[in-house]
Amino acid sequence: MSSSILADQRTDELIAAYKEHFGAEPTHISSGPGRVNLIGEHTDYNEGFVLPVALKRDVRFAFRPRSDRQVRLFSLEYGETYEFDLDSFAFNDAMLWANYVQGMAWSLEQLGIPLTGMDAALSGNVPRGSGLSSSAAVEVGAAHAFLAGSGQLGHLSGPQIARAAQRAENEYVGVNCGIMDQFISVLGRENHALLIDCRSLTYELIPMPAEASLVIGNTRASRSLASSAYNERRQECETGVALLEPMLPGIRALRDVTSAQLEEHKAVLPATVYRRCRHVVTENERVLQTVEAFRRNDLVTVGQLMNASHESLRDDYAVSSAALDAMVEAMRSVPGCYGARLTGAGFGGCAVALVQPGAEQAMADTIFEQYPKATNIWPEVYTTRASDGARVVEIH
């Protein structure tokens, strides 16, 4: 996000709303992008590998620091205002969006970062509840606003900001998310994916070829099963590790198990637990194979690995849905599609396709034609490339 964000219509509208609401000029714009995970699903809580990219969709804050400890917020999407004091945080059941901002301030203060108050207007175009991580985008945009407004921006590294944002969501908001969403929102880079080792939190930027374009299809289907099934899958993975450990001493998580080892010892696992473990073990291998394929500029292989990931999520992990399968089928039917898969926890939300540049519109048209016939739901389609992570720009 260079200064070009200042010459952007969304920013113009945000600044205008700030002026109207607060009767003054903002001094800065901060931005936290959403993300889409290319491959590596349900591997994060098994200490494995993930490969997300930051989106060209973000949550932006127009803000001005204050000399006191008051924080005044105005959300354009909700048309709501919220105020709190940095000396007295209070979770608000009626205004959930404000808790992500409050939680971020709380988390930074817990680290001993001295914050000052601010007036801020915020607006985002990351679809909510779609699995593209609008919550991390709010947290990361807020983190950069608080740090810049308090003159503390250089005091935390990117991974430290990501961990503070994850803590805000885990401990303040009460959502038990992994680290991937906040990590990529902070550390993403244009035309790069980010390989994250969820055990060590080491990471590496992986260049994406110019001929790699992404189309995201939002099923807009209910994700009501996602949270209970998520806890169930986690438990099944832990059961698998406990049953394999006597044969494979020293393993801590499924990340430590190879496909060959899993096949050798499958007899000790109940059938369902074996299938869950097979997804995670093979998915970790697919992430590393995808990175190697990107390095060779081999998008055909990347597409095949994405396809195999979807099949594994559907058949072994059982987290797909009729809506997601219909979306993926529509995507794969388009010439120029290398591969497509569900992305995120599953049961609804989004699918992502890797396509040749120039095929994006044909894919959107095909989705709008085929998907509603299969599901009676009108989808949303977004075209994107891998984008930069969080930024703060001063308004001159």
Distance CA 303, CA 339 (A): 4
21: Cβ contacts below 8 Å, ≥ 6 apart: 74, 81, 121
Establish whether 181 is a catalytic residue: yes
Alpha helices in the chain (DSSP H): 9-22, 96-110, 134-149, 158-167, 180-187, 226-244, 259-264, 271-295, 299-315, 322-332, 360-375
394 three-state secondary structure: strand
Q: Are 377 and 221 in contact (CB under 8 A)?
A: yes
Distance CA 261, CA 274 (A): 12
Q: Determine which one of 181, 256, 316, 388 is catalytic.
A: 181
Q: CA dihedral in degrees (72, 74, 80, 84; nearest 10)?
A: -20
C-alpha torsion sign, points 15, 35, 392, 109: positive
- Count CB atoms within 10 A of the CB of residue 270: 12
Distance CA 367, CA 381 (A): 8
Q: Are 229 and 254 in contact (CB under 8 A)?
A: no
C-alpha torsion sign, points 319, 321, 326, 327: negative
DSSP-assigned beta bridge partners for residue 82: 73
Residues recognised as catalytic? 181
